[in-house]
Structure 1
Amino acid sequence: MKAAQITSFGAADVLQINDVDRPAPGAGEVLVSVEASSVNGHDVIVRAGEVKMISGRRFPIGVGLDFAGVVAATGAGVEGYRAGDRVWGMVHPRQRHSVAGAAEYVVVPAGRISAAPVDLSSVEAAALVVAGSTALIALRDSVHLADGERVLVRGAAGGVGTAAVQLAHAMGGHVTALARDRHAELLTDLGADEVLDYRSTTSDQIGPFDVIVDTVGTELHCYRSRLAKGGRMVTVGLSPSALAAIAASSVHGSRRIRTFSANPETPVLRAVADHVTSGALRPVIDSVYPLADIAAAHQAFERGGVVGKHVVTVPRSSV
């Protein structure tokens, strides 16, 4: 089968589509025939060698954090899934994988998948696995958004940002989206009550907010100052400066800056699917690339300016 892998750390051109043995599911595992994956920040930093403590230095290393497709086979002891079921899920972000989501087949524990929303294609589903799960965990579990609270979503046009705008709106928040002006119509349609251009709006011109969801990872101390009394802030845009700001904020009680590593298992994936089924959440896709062009998808991600997600399709015999 074909799988996207790296044999050295570096820029997007180190990505290769290699012929590898098709894996077989062990006890408690599921073999998924992958139809689509997406490009995430995690994929890029693994490829660039920024998380060697997780990925290790033993090559090849598979890329692709998420996937959507069809169950091909199940291992011993797996209940609730059978061949032909449409599913979505993630490989474990803190483990090394020689084959990951950007491959024709991937093996994962059954607890890392769930039934994909029936109304979504695999391309659409792949755009929501990480984005939807991250936004849901941020709003529901990290900052505990309550009905009627004022929410700022920073980096609102990206994958997590567009999901966060929709979910915050569905949870009853009054949503301010910080993004480029040209994305105002889309973000308003997704549920934003107000859209501000980040290029002409400084942190001291806005707020206060009860909740801030940051996907950028810079100037966190400036935005934290815009929290109301009892306000909560979470960032998923980690960088050295973000980590310093998180540490410096830890003495500030509820106004500390929270963060987490999204690692959704079946219950979270089911909850995201429920939001899709209810109409509260829909995918936003910037562009679609075949597996053979995954390097171009990574390059587009790194250029920035994305609206939603870059998705990679995985046809059989793709190269």
Structure 2
Amino acid sequence: MRAALYDRYGPPEVLYEGTAPKPVAGPGEVLVRVHATSVNGGELLGRAGRVRLVTGLTGRGFPKRIGLDFTGEVAALGSAMPGLALGDRVWGVMSRTFGSAAEFVAVRPRQFALAPAGLDLVEAAALPVGTTAITALRDKARLKPGERLLVRGASGGVGNIAVQLGRAYGAHVTALARAANLDLVRELGADEAFDYTTTGAAGLGPFDVVLDTVGTELSAYRRLLAPGGRMVSIAFDIDHVVSSVSYILASTAFGSRRVRFFSGRPTHRLFADLTEYVERGALRPVVDAVHPLADIAAAHRALEAGGVRGKHVIRIGQT
């Protein structure tokens, strides 16, 4: 089958379209014909080899695969599964490894759910990362109606969904993004939107919840929290890993304004919740660009350049 591969760590240009063995759905697994995937920040770091010291991964095992989330259709069932049939439209995420930038993936039911009815599966690939925003705002921060929410990186893949969810949860949403993307975040539901290049942390606050998708200046943004406020970071400064992680741990042990960090492992229930939000009109996909699999290097290059409006999506299928 066709798949995105790389034979060494490096810049986006190490990625290429090659071939890999087609997976087989074993007992309790589902084979999904992939329609699309998207490019996520963690994949950029993994491809570049910049998280080896954090994860313990080495350069052995090339060629490596890429791709975390997926949308597609059920192509085969490894065993009978009530409520699931061939051709069902699904979306989900790989569990312990990359590899969804390929024609097929074999996954377990806990890793996916039925995709929203009527939503194009290529556009839908911009939304699986929404499980991270749900976990951050609903489960970790416990955002309440009327609270003040700040979203850093508000036009990015997770950030744009967080803005939409903040509106759905009844919060007052303040968004930080590039000047060119302020119109987008306001359209998505931000009550206030500021250019982060001209408005720093000192000019903002206070907030009940801060969602940080950037990972830098954690202490500055933590100071914006009102008493009892909660800050959730889904990124850390890769150039200062030890100090970033130490700061997060210290904030948990000392003081009431805690910084929470988590590495999402979405479940079937989270994907089902995501589907429900879309079907009732609370969320919509925001796609910056759609790239064919052969141009996956260009998609990685575009995300690394910054300034994205939503997600860069990789079309796998021909339709």
Compute the TM-score of the two structures, normalised by the length of structure 2.
0.94
CA distance in 2, matches of 1:252, 1:289: 46
Corresponding position of 1:29: 29
Name the SS of the counterpart of 1:81 in structure 2.
coil
Give the drift of 1:16.
2.1
1:224 is matched with 222
Query: Which of 121, 146, 149 lines up with 1:148 in the alignment?
Result: 146
Structure 1: give runs of 5+ residues left out of the alignment: none
Sort the Cα spacing of 1:10 and 1:202 in 2 relative to 1 into closer, same or farther, 3 A: same
Shift of 1:54: 6.2
CA drift of 1:48 comes to 1.3
- Cα shift readout 1:225-271 (whole Å, capped 9, x = no counterpart): 01000000001122225324313322334411101111111100010
Q: Percent identity?
A: 51
Confirm or deny that 1:85 pairs with 2:88. Answer: yes
Q: Report the residue type matching 1:15 in the other structure.
A: L
User: What's the offset of the Cα at 1:187?
Assistant: 1.1
SS in 2 for 1:161: helix
Q: SS at the partner of 2:194?
A: strand
Whole-Å Cα distance in 1 between the matches of residues 277 and 288 of structure 2? Answer: 21
| Residue 300 (structure 1) aligns with | 302
Which residues of 2 match residues 10-25 of structure 1 at below 5 A?
A: 10-25=10-25
C-alpha distance in structure 2 between counterparts of 1:110 and 1:55, whole Å = 27
Query: What is the CA RMSD across the aligned residues, in angstroms?
Result: 1.5
The answer for the alignment partner of 1:264 in structure 2 is 266
Whether 1:108 aligns to 2:96 is no
Counterpart pick for 1:184 among 182, 190, 212: 182
Q: Match of 1:215?
A: 213
Partner deviation per Cα, 1:9-68 (whole Å, 9 max, x = no partner): 111111121122211100111100001000001211221123343655312221100000
2-structure distance, mates of 1:135, 1:113: 16
What residue number does 2:286 align with? 284
Segments of structure 2 that go 5 or more residues without pairing to the other structure are none
Q: Which residue of 1 aligns with 2:124?
A: 125
Residue aligned with 2:36, SS: strand
Q: TM-score, with normalisation over the residues of structure 1?
A: 0.94
Distance 2:206 2:94 in 1: 38
CA distance in 1, matches of 2:41, 2:201: 25
Give the paired residue count.
312
Distance 1:96 1:277 in 2: 29
Instruction: Find the aligned partners of 1:206 and 1:16 in 2 and give their Cα distance.
Output: 44
